[in-house]
A and B are shown apart, each in its own frame.
Chain A
Amino acid sequence: MDHSSLAGRIFRGIALSLVLVFFMFPIVWILLMSFQTNEQILRIPPRILFEPTLANYEALISGQLRTAAGNLQIEFMRNLMNSFVLSSASVILALLLGVPAAYAFARFKFKLGETIAFTLLSFRFAPPLLVLLPLSLYYQQLGLNDTYFGIVWVYQLIALPLILWIVRGYFEDISPDIEHAYRLAGHSWREAFTRIAVPLAGPGIAAAGLLSFIFCWNNFVFALILASADKQPVTVGALAFVTASGIQYGQIAAAIVLSVTPTLLLALYAQRYLVEGLSLGAVKG
């Protein structure tokens, strides 16, 4: 491949600029919109230079929206809080349950372990509604419908398989000899696990935890079916907000910005782990 020819370099430069514009423009544009009043947004032609306002964010944070039909109570901050609570609780639970199991799958070759690992992997690709719709009927009978506990439990379907498969790969890469030596020195199984295996698999556990946090945060359909307004995370809340606020476009943009900021910051902060985790250990580079 010729990297040095002038035509080639110009072509690559133009192509890369187009790629950047296509993928970055929506984020930048919505961010700009969130600092505009409705009048500024509706202006034609649209302007890049404008006097920024924080009114949209103020309205969202105070929960008081002024619409044409009068004042409207919107609890978008509650949705944001729900997202934090649901995603964090789900990831913590999934790590507590998943890391020991991943260790068992990596260290002991047993039939049940393989069966579980494969069932979880193959259901990773099954339609979520297939499990969710019957589950919602069960939940109604069990009284788990619309409880944080019920939703966190369902989020395990997202977080646990991810953690199992990523962390298992990391444990498999650690030679068991170190643990054997440690055990021979008189330490229990539990000590070998917490003091040797877990610290060595640290980056994998971090990658799996981060990725499951983002996937739980970004999930839409689980909460759409199982949560009512006061338990909804931002993904469902934002959609309801669009319906409720009607033409308050600036506020919609601000709500979008608030919904995506946590995951985007996490992604930027932990991009190296993320890329490794995304390939589910398939590609190591």
Chain B
Amino acid sequence: MSMAQLVETEATPRRTKRWRGRLLPYLLSLPALLVCIAILVPFVTAAIYSLQRYRLNLPYLRGFIGVDNYIDFLSDPAFWNTLRISLVYTAVTVIAELLLGLGIALLLRRPTRFHNAVSIMLLLPLMTAPAIAALMWKLMTNPSFGILSYLVGLLGVHDFKWASDPSTALFTVVLVDVWVYTPFIMILLLAGLRSLPRQPFEAAALDGVPASFVFFRITLPMLAPYIITASLFRLLDSIQQFDIVYAMTQGGPGDRLMVFQVQAYLEFFQYTNVGRSAALLMILWLITNVLSNIFIKNWLRLRARAHGHA
């Protein structure tokens, strides 16, 4: 195509072309916009429900009650139990997974063939559906034939009831969570570790700096952005944990594992109290929203750096 032709084709339908060119990005993002609306409409609906007395079994009682649902929580021990359990669950899982994930990432730091093979194998628990993972552990912790019950029996601990005993239920679901999600932190931190510049470590080795000093003064600070991103990510998922807890015990025994979303689910489907369920979820959303804003800022900074323009 000659230059003259090119100019001509560019010139003739200039007006419609420019108009179309400006519209193009909007046309392309239309589906994404629809999905956004499909999220925002139920979200606003939930916010409205949370201000209503709304029970599916008593539809004639429905009406606005302001923030009464929220105020009721203040004097409701079940709510404080939910808040406490959710926070404990989150804190324990995130700390355990972070320490374990960091430890494993350090072990696998040198990119040998064996280390890479191990890190690939560790992907498998992460790719297992959490609800199915809970079922796997349920089979292994069955009191009559479970292999883990048998093994702790060999260690002299008999009648260890795992998820069905209130005193060990939290430990058991945390164990499943750690099994599934530690590899996630490990993968992020391993990628971080391997992307660190070599010079500080080489200099430290030349000067004979002790390993603990290298770890706490060089490795950890340089890894900090990755650690923060990985733990915030887990924090956000962990406080909303549903699959593992629901598949394992449905929040029981009793109310021992009534984390936010399980409680909200039962509130909706068992007690058909839509208003209360929505209010509970709004509180959870508020917590996650604060956390996710911090996370997104952090993540975008890291992303920009990885893409080389920061």
Contact = CB atoms under 8 A, between A and B. Distances in A.
A178 interface: no
Contacts of B265: 129
B121 A131 contact: no
B107 to A, nearest CB: 6
A120 B31 CA distance: 12
Contacts of B306: 281-284
Given A172-B307, A249-B145, A271-B120, A116 B139 contact: no
Contacts of A29: 140, 147
A55 interface: no
Given A125-B295, A127-B260, A27 B191 contact: no
B29 A116 contact: yes
A49 interface: no
B210 to A, nearest CB: 10
Interface string A23-37: 110110110010000
B131 interface: yes
16 contacts: A97-B31, A127-B281, A128-B261, A134-B42, A138-B45, A218-B132, A239-B131, A242-B135, A256-B139, A266-B127, A267-B127, A271-B123, A275-B191, A278-B188, A280-B299, A284-B195
Interface string B31-54: 111011011111101100100000
A183 B276 CA distance: 57
Interface string B157-197: 00000000000000000000001001110011001101100
A76 interface: no
Given A116-B36, A126-B289, A133-B278, A12 B28 contact: no
Given A30-B139, A169-B303, A281-B306, A101 B29 contact: yes
Given A116-B36, A126-B292, A130-B281, 13 more contacts: A1-B201, A20-B118, A23-B121, A27-B128, A126-B288, A129-B264, A164-B32, A220-B129, A234-B129, A242-B138, A267-B126, A281-B303, A283-B188
Contact of B35 (A12, A113, A120): A120
Interface string B15-38: 000000100111011111101101
Contacts, number: 297
A259 B129 contact: yes
Contacts of A172: 307
B129 A235 contact: yes
Nearest 10 CB-CB pairings of A with B: A97-B31, A218-B129, A104-B28, A125-B292, A108-B25, A134-B42, A220-B131, A134-B45, A267-B127, A285-B191
A42 B125 CA distance: 26
B129 A116 contact: no
Interface residues of B, number: 103
Interface stretch (A66-74, A184-192, A201-209): A184-192
B302 interface: yes
Interface residues of A, number: 103
Interface in B250-298: 260-261, 264-265, 268, 274, 277-278, 281-282, 284-285, 288-289, 291-293, 295-296
Given A133-B277, A157-B38, A20 B121 contact: yes
Contacts of B147: 29, 46
Contact of A157 (B39, B107, B140, B302): B39
A147 interface: no
A252 interface: yes
A127 B281 CA distance: 7
Interface stretch (B60-68, B73-81, B236-244): B236-244
B1 interface: yes
Nearest to B283: A127
A219 B26 CA distance: 31
Contacts of B292: 122, 124-126
A122 B302 contact: no
Looking at A1, A108, A124, A234, the one whose CB has the most chain B CB atoms below 10 A away is A1
